[in-house]
Amino acid sequence: MFTPSALLTVLVLAVSADTTVPVQTSATPGTPVTPGTPEVARADASLAASSLRFEPAILDLGEMSVGQTGSGKVTVTNTSDAPITIARIVPACGCTKASAAPIEEVKPGASFDVEFTLDAGKRPGVELKRKVAFHVEGAGVATFELKASIRPDAAHEHGKPFVSLIRLKPASAAAREGRESAEREQDAAILAIDAALERAGAVDGIRMKLHRESGALFVHGTAHQIEVAERTIDDRALGL
């Protein structure tokens, strides 16, 4: 439940079978929200990370223009003393694409290459940072990051308002328990965005509107504010 002393105001549309009710709720600034992660999951993530070495450690695609697609390659090495299998490679958002995981197991000391492409999007003057999850069978998940700097566009100002649609878990489950669980996840996601914006010093003027039933969260703000919000949801999707 959000508290009344809000820095951000979120318009939540609570949809029932026969009516749409606008409800004013708010996210408390400074409240860190992190998904509950069991100790075993953290241990698995550490194990997976220690099994892989990425070269480069972060893939920097440099400067890109609005609407441009950048590409690059990373070499991944099995640093463990046993063969490993990469079950899948999963980017956190649709703007990032990765080539397929190797079909064969990767022997100790062996390497394989992964090709990445990144869509710069439509917002000028932002620093894009996107994470990709490498799922290692029996060892958990290791994450890799790629980034790019989006050039300012002469036709836009950095402070110009933008709008972005972020997809959260829908609260359309027929069972009451399922719906309440989805709504709690939605609220936690908004609180996480709020906390990230405060840490970035970017809270002024942002507005969010959530449609509970579909999980559609509309974020209105500057390019930088929306980038922070999207990156927060990407990290949550990877369990970070």
What φ, ψ does residue 93 adopt, rounded to 5°?
A: -135, 165
What is the distance between the alpha carbons of residues 132 and 116, in angstroms, rounded to a whole number? 10
Strands of 79-154 (E only): list them: 86-91, 96-98, 111-119, 127-136, 140-150
Q: What is the pLDDT of residues 146-157, one digit of tens each?
A: 999 988 764 444
| Domain end marker among 95, 124, 150 | 150
Q: What is the pLDDT of residues 111-123, one digit of tens each?
A: 999 999 999 887 8
pLDDT at 14: 42
How many domains are there within the chain? 2
> Looking at the structure, do residues 134 and 63 belong to the same domain, yes or no?
yes
- Positions in the chain short of pLDDT 70: 1-46, 153-161, 173-174, 240
| Domain end marker among 116, 150, 184 | 150
> Looking at the structure, do residues 162 and 135 belong to the same domain, yes or no?
no
Look at residue 35 and tell me if it is in a domain: no
159 φψ region: left (φ > 0), alpha (ψ -120 to 50), beta (else):
alpha
| Domain end marker among 133, 150, 167 | 150
Token code pair at residue 10:
């979120």
Enter the pTM of the model. 0.63
Q: What is the pLDDT of residues 64-86, one digit of tens each?
A: 988 889 999 999 999 999 999 99
Domain of residue 194 covers 8-30+157-237
Look at residue 184 and tell me if it is in a domain: yes
pLDDT at 135: 93
